[in-house]
């Protein structure tokens, strides 16, 4: 009688959809883990679209090797064209109609800021935003784990190098008129103040600007001898081209976002030679910088492995191997490692707990460390703080200028 009653109840619950089917966590089934991502495949920031394609190939490689604890990573990425309104629409659609367990990467400061509160209010993990915004850690969020070094740090190291190693006297900043560009501007000003210096010029660029002549005129009139640029790769190409045409050729410097030298050499038709950028990877396991002199012929052990096993096997035929593609792998590595450590009984809270245990995690990028959630400590979610400087060579290779440098964290109040 008892068995008959239970059978009837189970049948009724199944009809109503109330019986767990192995896993109650959103985005996790017995055989799949669903991960979301956005990136610009079109529009002014399209060169950064390779980040998502790199993540996609990385997940396919993991699946081809058995997945994680018997589950495959199902990667959902969409083109937001670097438009925050499209980011919001796409994230909501995927989260509410399909159900993502977590989100990874996501290109763009403005795009990420547009969906940060939506994800955090729902307790959905987001690992490795593909932007170096201070807003990922100030204030820290329990479910948001930064990987990308902050643009503030890029600007600090570039400016310090220009002043102390290159004896530059008139440093200017060209910055995108959003959080990305403004943090670069702030980092440069912070260092110049320490040297009792002022910016020679600060020149804003709108994402829709195509004519760089007015911007270049301001730089030339300011007699800038070093210019830091925090804009898209396309704007950098136009600035260098316009500067060359106007016989204005300062020491150009840029952030990690424009550190894909083969790409930049191609889109600037060689003008990128000599440009100095910050870089967040890839280091040898010993901690020494090296092994990346030319990404097309990597001798870094992990980089070489990914080129053969991920890019050659799973990238599209027309995909270009490069730093942008590999960044999509590097930003996803901590998420994959935490899923692996969480075990078969995967939940979001277990994922967060495993991420919080990471200390000096080393993948393609620099060392990544988190800590237990503390709403008053941005460093518990900052991830990587180390970068180094490199200079582009004529063939798109890298001349390494510094060893790893730990950047200073600048609080929001400054």
* Concatenated DSSP letters of 306-361: HIIIIIHHHS-TTPPPSHHHHHHHHTTHHHHHHHHHH-SS--HHHHHHHHHT--SB
- Token readout for 31 is 């055989």
Report domain extents, the chain: 32-149+297-383, 151-279+389-406
Question: 186-195, 291-300, 320-329, 394-403: lowest mean pLDDT where?
Answer: 291-300
Q: Which CATH architecture has domain 32-149+297-383?
A: 3-Layer(aba) Sandwich (3.40)
93 has pLDDT over 80:
yes
| For residue 57, pLDDT beyond 80 | yes
Give residue 409's pLDDT band: very low, low, confident or very high (50, 70, 90).
Answer: confident
- Predicted confidence at residue 2, as pLDDT, reads 43
In sequence order, the 6+-apart residues with CB closer than 8 A to the CB of 276 are 158, 161, 251, 252, 253, 254, 389, 390, 391, 392, 401
The pair of structure tokens assigned to 212 is 């760089």
211: left (phi > 0), else alpha (psi -120 to 50), else beta? beta
Alpha-carbon span 98 to 381, nearest angstrom: 28
For the ranges 19-28, 106-115, 202-211, 233-242, the lowest mean pLDDT is seen at: 19-28
What's the mean pLDDT when you consider all of the chain?
Answer: 90
What pLDDT does 301 receive? Answer: 82
Residue pLDDT, tens place only, 301-319? 888 899 999 999 999 999 9
- Report the CATH number of the 151-279+389-406 domain: 3.40.50.2300
Of 211, 251, 214, 207, give the one whose Cα is nearest residue 233.
Answer: 207
Residue 3 has pLDDT above 50, yes or no: no
Burial 271-280 (b: 16+ CB within 10 A, else e): bbeebbbbbb
Q: What is the pLDDT of residue 14?
A: 41
Q: Name the 3-class secondary structure at 411.
A: coil
Label residue 260 by pLDDT band (50, 70, 90).
confident
Domains 32-149+297-383 and 151-279+389-406 share a fold: yes
């Amino acid at each position: 009688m008892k068995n008959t009653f239970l059978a009837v109840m189970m049948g009724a619950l199944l009809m109503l959809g109330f019986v767990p089917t192995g896993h109650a966590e959103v985005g996790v089934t017995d055989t799949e883990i669903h991960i979301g991502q956005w990136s610009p495949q079109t529009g002014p920031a399209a060169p950064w679209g390779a980040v998502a394609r790199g993540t996609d190939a990385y997940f396919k490689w993991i699946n081809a090797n058995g997945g994680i604890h018997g589950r495959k990573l199902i990667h959902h990425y969409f083109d937001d064209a670097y438009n925050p309104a499209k980011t919001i629409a796409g994230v909501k659609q995927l989260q509410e109609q399909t159900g993502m367990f977590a989100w990874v990467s996501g290109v763009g400061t403005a795009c990420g800021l547009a969906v940060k509160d939506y994800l955090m209010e729902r307790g959905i993990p987001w690992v490795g935003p593909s932007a170096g915004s201070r807003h990922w850690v100030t204030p820290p969020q329990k479910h948001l784990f930064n990987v990308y070094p902050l643009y503030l740090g890029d600007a600090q190291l570039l400016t310090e190098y220009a002043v102390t190693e290159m004896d530059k006297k008139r440093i200017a900043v060209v910055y995108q008129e959003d959080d990305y560009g403004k943090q670069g501007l702030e980092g440069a000003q912070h260092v110049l103040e320490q040297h009792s210096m002022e910016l020679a010029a600060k020149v804003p660029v709108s994402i829709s600007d195509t004519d760089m002549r007015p911007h270049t005129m301001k730089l030339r009139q300011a007699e800038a001898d070093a210019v830091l640029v925090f804009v898209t790769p396309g704007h950098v190409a136009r600035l260098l081209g316009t500067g060359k045409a106007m016989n204005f050729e300062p020491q150009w410097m840029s952030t990690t976002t424009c550190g894909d030298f083969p790409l930049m050499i191609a889109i600037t038709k060689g003008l990128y030679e000599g440009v100095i950028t910050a870089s967040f990877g890839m280091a040898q396991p010993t901690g020494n910088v090296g092994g990346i002199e030319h990404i097309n012929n990597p001798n870094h052990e992990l980089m070489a492995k990914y080129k053969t096993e991920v890019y050659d096997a799973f990238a599209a035929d027309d995909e270009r191997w490069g730093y942008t593609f590999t960044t999509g792998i590097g930003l996803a590595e901590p998420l994959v490692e935490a899923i692996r450590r969480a075990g078969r009984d995967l939940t979001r809270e277990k994922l967060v707990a495993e991420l919080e245990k990471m200390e000096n995690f080393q993948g393609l990028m620099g060392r990544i460390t988190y800590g237990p959630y503390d709403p008053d400590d941005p460093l518990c979610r900052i991830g990587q703080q180390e970068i180094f400087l490199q200079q582009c060579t004529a063939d798109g290779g890298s001349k390494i200028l510094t060893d790893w440098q730990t950047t200073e964290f600048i609080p929001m109040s400054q």
